[in-house]
């Protein structure tokens, strides 16, 4: 790491947004499995997570993060990975292809 990056805060994100709702831009479309976004209500989400054995504090955090994303507060993109590492980041679509067996 260059000395110029020491003690500098970087906002790390993708260089472009991930869109799952649109099937034509769905980054999972090339892995041979259908992965879809389904917008469900908060209570149904809470029940489902509780049924999976998740604790209330974790469910509350996930729901809170969902509202932050939905409000658009997590939509900012940056090129910080390339600035810090000096190379382009791996595209999310490539990551999905590389780890397709994990999405079962």
What band does 62 get if pLDDT is binned at 50, 70 and 90? very high
pLDDT greater at residue 84 or residue 2: 84
The predicted model gives 10-35 an average pLDDT of 64
Task: Choose from 17-31, 36-50, 73-87 the range with maximum mean pLDDT.
Answer: 36-50
Between CA 38 and CA 47 the distance in angstroms is 15
pTM assigned to the model: 0.58
How high is the pLDDT of residue 63? 95
Between CA 38 and CA 20 the distance in angstroms is 10
């Amino acid at each position: 790491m260059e000395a110029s990056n020491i003690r500098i805060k970087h906002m790390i994100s993708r260089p472009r947004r991930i869109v799952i709702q649109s099937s034509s831009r769905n980054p999972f479309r090339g892995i041979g499995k259908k992965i879809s976004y389904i917008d469900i209500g908060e209570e149904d989400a809470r029940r489902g997570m509780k049924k999976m054995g998740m604790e209330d504090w974790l469910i509350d955090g996930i729901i809170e993060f969902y509202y932050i994303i939905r409000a658009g507060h997590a939509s900012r993109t940056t090129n910080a990975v390339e600035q810090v590492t000096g190379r382009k980041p791996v595209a999310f679509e490539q990551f999905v292809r590389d780890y397709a067996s994990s999405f079962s």
